[in-house]
Chain A
């Protein structure tokens, strides 16, 4: 499991105060007559706010774009607050002073072209005031191509992410950490529940990183708030976005586009490190891949294959086919007693390697290496209530590709 070395970014406390003040203001405007009830409610809501465990606002983030977005967000927010104050104050004034019970007699005016023009033109000018900085920020946000130092290809797969360092021949899959899967009924105490992965994406600080987004199946969206990157990954499309991480740290995010059953369980962890550390990590990944390739030509024992296969199964297959192989009736077939799993090994290999067109069963040849696929197939055939008794060796997968 990946452990955290530095704290997540928190919002500045000042903004907590802003939001809670505004909440109080709006509530009390609305319910002036019942101010006692409301004061009680607000006190209830704002007491925990003081403990700062309740995040109220957007993170300022750690990239130039995230900071730009944050200030634009605050500008628009304050404009809304001011307009809201004026409108609600006028309304409150009427409600308090122009009421029949106070003897108010209704006036009869119902038109004024001058006033109408004013409150059409003034908002228009305010909007232009918002549109100008927004245009600049948008152009910066969309400029992923210029001077990118590193290109990372991000592929959304139901329900995990695949990262490929295009220039360095490193590619791996990152999925929800087992430590989160284990406590899904009662996650109390797991600080990063659902925001931790088996293999984080490691990136260097101070470099412009260009992300290319793509999807294998349905639409996903890769979102890390602190980097202000949220971009859809769409089958048939390649989208891009960029980040320049200014501070080392661990930044967490999640898939933001409904992508099926386990949409809530495909987190993102970015570990931003210094450049030497990044190079070291990259070399480690390359060595790992080389070792895996070497072990693919060896003959594996049934015991080793099943043991390795279980890890692969839980990370890649259990979401649909169930941790015990029961599947979900009507949606995803069971592994236990399956005709394919208990039948000819070649057909079993084919469906895992190439997927099944027109269904949610994807082709794993681009996601897993030979050892992983051989292990998971052997595991499925000899576990989860099945006992075929044969092994599938990595060499068989190599031939099937």
Chain B
């Protein structure tokens, strides 16, 4: 199968959906002429014109609000939010308006918009351009949240997001735009709420999102060399969450580590760990561990920044301790 980069995969998904459905359009900063700082949208304005690939002024609340209105009145906008960190600017448009219109209109209105943004540190982009804020939006009922872990997921999830009648936020990892993965030529969609077992194992389940799936995969390699068989599962969407697949795996392995690049406290990892605790407690042979980004603003210093995110070695070390039956917390 051909291999394409994550940015090409997103580009293909958008182009295919825009050809299929004339109500799909893109708006955001630098989406047309520049094709975004990450070159994800290159070539789209040439095919679809400035009427469907719209450069906006630098006003996130403005253009996200426009997208909500367009979605409510029959269009399917795909909003480009250049950095996930800018979510703070659009909280009202996204969480108060987009997420709640269907509910508050008694089902008369739908908001079929997609908000494309990104997450991920270790790009030396400092504290205001390095955050992973998926927990923030996953907390709000009415929003769906997708976290593609490769080019394959990026394309399939984007196409599903565009066709969904609810507001969907997709976080792409900034570091993965150039990562290539096999992507079929023919059309495919990845349904929401369907986790992917990326690697089968019997001793411990590593549940990882976005680029942490790669981290978990490398950790599984390290562990395999030591005789520990790790299962790697990518939930792909955290809202909705494929609980059944996670529970089935944890019931088999009796141990789990949940890895997500958001800050560890009050995060995605906590939510998933909590569900495993509630629904698989009597199958657990060790406490479920969370691994997220350190609870600090992401440092600019490369040496410091690299310490704040989970690494394969760190995941492997924790997995080793769980499998050894070490007492992790005070008695």
Question: Do A and B belong to a common assembly?
Answer: no
- Where the two chains meet, the residues of A that have a C-beta atom closer than 8 Å to any C-beta of B are none
